[in-house]
Structure 1
Amino acid sequence: MDTFHVNRLCTAAAVLVSVLLIVPRPASSESPNGHRGGVLNVALEADFPTFDPLRMGALADREVAMSFYDTLLNIDEKGNLVPNLAESYTASDDLTSFDLKMRGGIKFHDGTLLDADAVVFNLKRLMDPKNHCRCTADVAVISTVEKIGPLEVRIHTKAPAAHFLAVLTDVAGIMASPTALQKSGADYGMNPVGTGPFVFKEWKKGNYLEAVRNPSYWKKGKPFLDKVFYRPIPDEQVRMSSLRAGNVDVMLVPGPKDVAEAENAKNLQVIDAGSLGTVFVMFNAKNGPTADVRVRRALAYATNRPLLNKVINHDVYKVANTPFGSGLSPHEKVDGYPNYDLKKSQELLEAVGKPVNITLSVQLGPLALQTGQVLQQMWKRAGVNVEIKQFEQVQHIQNAISNQFEASLFRWPGRADPDLNVYQFFKSDSPRNYARFSDPKMDQLLEKARRTTDPAQRDVVYKSISDLLTQQMPYLFLNYYTSYMLATPKVHGIQKVPDGLLRVDSVWKD
């Protein structure tokens, strides 16, 4: 793995984002000097709808995009913020101004220069309300973006934003060729052009996407592979059998049963990248039966989470009670999270005074369906009738966006800053507040966390946020989500980055 150096030291406020918010994990023992050549076949759980940063957001498209895109900043295996396309970054003392300096000489795959103009173009495109970016919740904090030098930009935020630099490690930090964006227009998402280690070549929807080595990649000596094929295989059993047979080299997002089996297999590697996120049931806090907090809490008391985790997850994951995975410093046990208590559940439902019937939406796939069926049985014991409906991943997400659900099972892989795990989902006016949860106290706490620079004080605020979520229960947290990957013995160089994304620039094969 390349080592990056920050040319100018960040202020203490910015350093808290880059260093102190994530619990360190051991670095990979893989050698940075890999073998050149070879083809990597990667199996994913779902197809990828688009690679236009305006529309990206699902795990599958983020995984694939790592091959032909780079982000302005990145996180390393210890969870620290590190330079990427931007070789240095600074923050003002009041956390309302952020300067980035780009590396010189980097070009997009179509020959367009990556400079300050390209960065400003990309960020303004995401910020434009007419474009309805899925990342609006991330970029809404930006007030202006300006060029202050050939390779330097300054980003002003509307309010203090302790979390902001971490935003630039995700979709909002992806840089796409301005030339290609203007040339392709609405079709750009099918023909992405970035600065990444591989160049987009061919995409057969539902079958595979092929990317070929970028010979002019800015990271010296990388990538090692000649080609990468990404293959969407929704059926978990087929993905696993394909890996065992050697038809694919890497399996992303394996189920817990597969992880447990692979840990005892001699011919498979288990890569544990860490935990930033959660698996949860999201309740519609505005419409339907779950608009009543008593119903939400009753369902929480009716859920035996340790038993669910054992039956479904084989105890591969840990039972959750906060929105912060174990890789984030606010991760701690909250007081009074509803543990299994059938009597309390029934008392709350009796107080509601009418029968409760709920539709539980889950994604296609055996794991999601089995989880839904166990919840259905548990909730039925409390007196709640549950109908399960399954949807393909894209439709499942769209139903949440359009408020077409009552209770919905989701997985959030997590992000590198605690703010990105809560603000966008629980702020009253956030476009990603799919639960339609609104609480003035929550809004105040979320804003306070963004203004707080001291890490210890910030953790106290996030503890209060977790406590309020426990009381109001817009989400029922089931387990913390650990980012696992499975691979054959021939694969080397997989980085254990806590966001769980496969950095193919460092991967090589025997």
Structure 2
Amino acid sequence: MNMRKSWILSLAVLFVFSSVLVACGGGSNAGKEKTLIYGRGADSTMLDPAVVTDGESFLVTENIFNGLLGFEKDSMELTPALAESWEELDDGKTWTFKLREGVKFHDGNDFNADAVVFNFERWAKQEYLPSDKDAFIYYASMFGGYEGEDGHIIESVTAKDEYTVEFKLKEPQGPFLANLAMSPFGIASPEAVKEDPKKFAENPVGTGPFKFENWKKGDTVTVVKNEEYWEEGLPKLDKVIFQSIPDNSARLTALQSGDIDIMDGLNPNDADTVTSNDQLQLYERPPMNVGYLAFNTEKEPFDNKKVRQALNHAVNKEGLIKSLYAGKAEPAANPMPPSIWGFNEEVEGYEYDLEKAKKLLKEAGYEDGFEVVFHAMPVPRPYMPDGKKAAEFMQADFEKIGVKTKIVSPEWSTYLEETNQGEHDMALLGWTGDNGDPDNFLYVLLDKDNARIPANNIAFYKNNKLHDILIKAQRETDQDVRTELYQEAQEIIHKDAPWVPLVYGTPTLAAQSYVEGYAPHPKGSDKLKEVDISQ
């Protein structure tokens, strides 16, 4: 090669290398695309928030959609969102919302009152579902069923003008505003839904800070900055990639090596590893959850209350917490956490007592025990870092009272489907509160209304007295009166023992030191619009 050609080649290489440095920021943020990779324990099941019930789906959809109302970034205080203001009339039976003007859906269509009406009518009438197997489970759980059912609380939703919408309720509903702020009630583009509901569940269109880009199932969901987002200066990131890494330890390794920027599902005993590394920062999500073991009360032997009480006595919650939670949990007595108002402190959890458990089994006619299939979660959840190990821990104690269990752990979407269809004998699950109201735990998870398939009440527990109390509490707007009713409800549930309430967990998360503005939200799904990267 002659000197002239060599010099030209060297110059070309230098130019390319310099261009790469400029494109990557060259040690500064100038011209650099800000991409955040969020490591999580499982993939989403679907991306239509009205259809799903799992936190992994809401983690993504929370950033694609807005509801009429929202919550503060680190608390359950209500804030305006797509509705700028609202007014209560007729003793809580009529609500008028003034909508934000100039907002567009990600497909370019206008957000307006007609879009709000379409969404609520879609949910109430069970229209435009992705498939025949799906249902708007949350809608029925929060608003008393679907249109035409006796308990359905919403009488009508009407567009009074282009940016005013009116809700008429059959009766006042105490948690109504808090319900509207929940993740499932993000307002979707009517045109996108009507074009193809199944496609919409995989390619969602909302008004949120990020727009959907792609979904590589089992691997990543990618969202990109909505350049026309209505909150000025937000979002700060250009792209967020939600990366599925099922194993907690592998996820921490990915964080330590710089492959991801934030991780949830940190093993509690790895917290010290994070705090001792000056390149990382530790977070604790404000606790608003319960992990539980649900008995399918429609199947033998769990249709017998004494059997359910016996298994409550056979669970060593303190030992479970010591083994799996490294002190980041407390034993549960009620099916709602103490961070929620209305918690009944007078209810004492079933003490760990194997002799008492054996006695109850004998009284129930199962002196020699029985065999049962035990569903254990295949993925880490905020209330349970390792479902399989938790099941194995309880399996050992159950065997001491003659109850033999076969642990099964199908993949996450199958697990959710089998439990909400009632195919299980007993199953581990849990709940992170959606709106800070006791109704969201007690009515949603344990009322007979929500034992309809697909069920949020996977114990399929039905108690008419409890139902009457919970409906009365819903229709009441005085919080003191509601508190008394919910405390009575917790006493009934404790005696009937459809669950073993296991733990109230304090989930731990970790991030790179350069991540700024991240605030884990109590409800478990975080808006990332204010998150930034400083490097």
The 1:154/1:338 distance shift into structure 2, 3 A limit, reads same
Q: 1:98 aligns with which of 79, 95, 98?
A: 95
Q: Which residue of 1 aligns with 2:486?
A: 462
**Which deviates more, 362-371 or 485-494?**
362-371
Residue 153 of structure 1 pairs with residue 165 of structure 2: yes
Q: Which residue of 1 aligns with 2:119?
A: 122
Flag structure 1 segments of 5+ consecutive residues without an equivalent: 1-34
In our comparison, the structure showing a higher alpha carbon Rg is 2
Q: Which residue of 2 aligns with 1:60?
A: 56
The 1:123/1:39 distance shift into structure 2, 3 A limit, reads same
Tell me the distance in 2 between the aligned counterparts of 1:40 and 1:274.
Answer: 23
Q: What is the SS of the residue equivalent to 1:94?
A: helix
**Which deviates more, 332-341 or 239-248?**
332-341
Q: Which residue of 1 aligns with 2:6?
A: none
Letter in 1 for 2:116: V
Tell me the distance in 1 between the aligned counterparts of 2:342 and 2:350.
Answer: 19
Q: Which residue of 2 aligns with 1:227?
A: 239
**Pairing 1:51-450 to 2, within 5 Å after superposition:** 51-76=47-72, 77-92=74-89, 94-130=91-127, 131=129, 132-135=135-138, 136-139=140-143, 140=145, 141-259=153-271, 261-354=273-366, 355-365=369-379, 367-416=386-435, 417-430=437-450, 431=452, 432-450=456-474
Tell me the distance in 2 between the aligned counterparts of 1:305 and 1:381.
Answer: 16
Letter in 1 for 2:285: A
Tell me the distance in 1 between the aligned counterparts of 2:348 and 2:197.
Answer: 51
Contact in 1 for aligned 2:448/2:462 (Cα 8 Å): yes
Deviation, structure 1 residue 119: 0.6
Tell me the distance in 2 between the aligned counterparts of 1:47 and 1:235.
Answer: 12
Residue 474 of structure 1 pairs with residue 498 of structure 2: yes
Deviation, structure 1 residue 172: 3.7
Contact in 1 for aligned 2:374/2:425 (Cα 8 Å): yes
Tell me the distance in 2 between the aligned counterparts of 1:78 and 1:63.
Answer: 16
Tell me the distance in 2 between the aligned counterparts of 1:476 and 1:213.
Answer: 43
TM-score by length of 2: 0.85
Residue 49 of structure 1 pairs with residue 45 of structure 2: yes
Tell me the distance in 2 between the aligned counterparts of 1:263 and 1:290.
Answer: 44
Contact in 2 for aligned 1:260/1:314 (Cα 8 Å): no
Tell me the distance in 2 between the aligned counterparts of 1:297 and 1:261.
Answer: 39
Tell me the distance in 2 between the aligned counterparts of 1:143 and 1:285.
Answer: 33
Deviation, structure 1 residue 71: 1.8
Letter in 2 for 1:116: A
Contact in 1 for aligned 2:48/2:61 (Cα 8 Å): no
**Which deviates more, 112-121 or 177-186?**
177-186
Q: Which residue of 2 aligns with 1:10?
A: none
Tell me the distance in 1 between the aligned counterparts of 2:273 and 2:331.
Answer: 20
Tell me the distance in 2 between the aligned counterparts of 1:157 and 1:36.
Answer: 50
Deviation, structure 1 residue 154: 1.4
The 1:255/1:466 distance shift into structure 2, 3 A limit, reads farther
Q: What is the SS of the residue equivalent to 2:79?
A: strand
Q: Which residue of 2 aligns with 1:12?
A: none
Contact in 1 for aligned 2:51/2:184 (Cα 8 Å): no
Letter in 2 for 1:79: M
Query: What percentage of residue pairs aligned between the two structures are identical?
Result: 28
Residue 497 of structure 1 pairs with residue 521 of structure 2: yes
**Which deviates more, 277-286 or 184-193?**
184-193
Tell me the distance in 1 between the aligned counterparts of 2:460 and 2:508.
Answer: 31
Tell me the distance in 1 between the aligned counterparts of 2:503 and 2:278.
Answer: 28
Letter in 2 for 1:356: F
Contact in 2 for aligned 1:250/1:488 (Cα 8 Å): yes
Tell me the distance in 2 between the aligned counterparts of 1:365 and 1:212.
Answer: 27
Contact in 2 for aligned 1:86/1:100 (Cα 8 Å): yes
Tell me the distance in 1 between the aligned counterparts of 2:321 and 2:442.
Answer: 23
The 1:159/1:301 distance shift into structure 2, 3 A limit, reads same
The 1:37/1:329 distance shift into structure 2, 3 A limit, reads farther
Tell me the distance in 1 between the aligned counterparts of 2:276 and 2:173.
Answer: 45
Q: Which residue of 2 aligns with 1:19?
A: none
Tell me the distance in 1 between the aligned counterparts of 2:202 and 2:117.
Answer: 23
CA-based RMSD = 1.9
The 1:172/1:207 distance shift into structure 2, 3 A limit, reads closer
The 1:153/1:184 distance shift into structure 2, 3 A limit, reads same
Deviation, structure 1 residue 151: 1.0
Tell me the distance in 2 between the aligned counterparts of 1:260 and 1:382.
Answer: 37
Aligned residues: 476
Deviation, structure 1 residue 158: 3.0
Contact in 2 for aligned 1:495/1:506 (Cα 8 Å): no
CA deviations 1:380-416 (Å, max 9, x no partner) are: 1122111111121111111111111111001211122
The 1:402/1:169 distance shift into structure 2, 3 A limit, reads same
Tell me the distance in 1 between the aligned counterparts of 2:169 and 2:263.
Answer: 39
The 1:98/1:405 distance shift into structure 2, 3 A limit, reads same
